[in-house]
Amino acid sequence: MSLIRLENASESDLDLLARLNKQLIEDEQHDNPMNVDELKERMRQFLNTHYKAYLFKAGDDVKGYALVDHSRDPLYLRHFFICRDSRRQGLGTAAFHLLLQELKTDTIDVEVMWWNERGHKFWQSLGFKERSIYLRRKG
């Protein structure tokens, strides 16, 4: 996957980032009820703080994105998404390593929903180890 490259995303990419974020939420079966317009506004707020978004591209085609919180130590990978038609090709692994190169780090935190077995296996294959159990009580 040497043809994949990383580009910094900007406010001009907000529509795309919101659509990709919506797919990520669907794929994770997350309980976030936001629609694409709401996700776009939230993404705008992220990009106007200490977050930075990155697009993974092959040629002119967007293959995924990442959203990283640069205020935390270690860095926090809030979103990582590979487009549905680009999965199971080694692209996620290549994109992740490219992101680490860009970030000049080998230490980064990520959260995975407990029911997301595929995501959990992916992150474990990249060397991630469990550090905590995050719980929520809904009344």
Q: Residue 117 burial by CB count (10 A; 0-12/13-18/19+): exposed, middle or buried?
A: exposed
Tokens of 138: 């809904």
* Domain extents in the chain: 4-125
- Please tell me the pTM assigned to this model: 0.93
Q: How sure is the predictor about 1, in pLDDT bands with cuts at 50, 70 and 90?
A: very low
Q: What is the CATH number of domain 4-125?
A: 3.40.630.30
What CA–CA distances, in Å, run from 3 to 16, 39, 57, 134? 21, 29, 8, 37
pLDDT digits (tens, 9 = 90+) for 4-37: 999 999 999 999 999 999 999 999 999 899 999 9
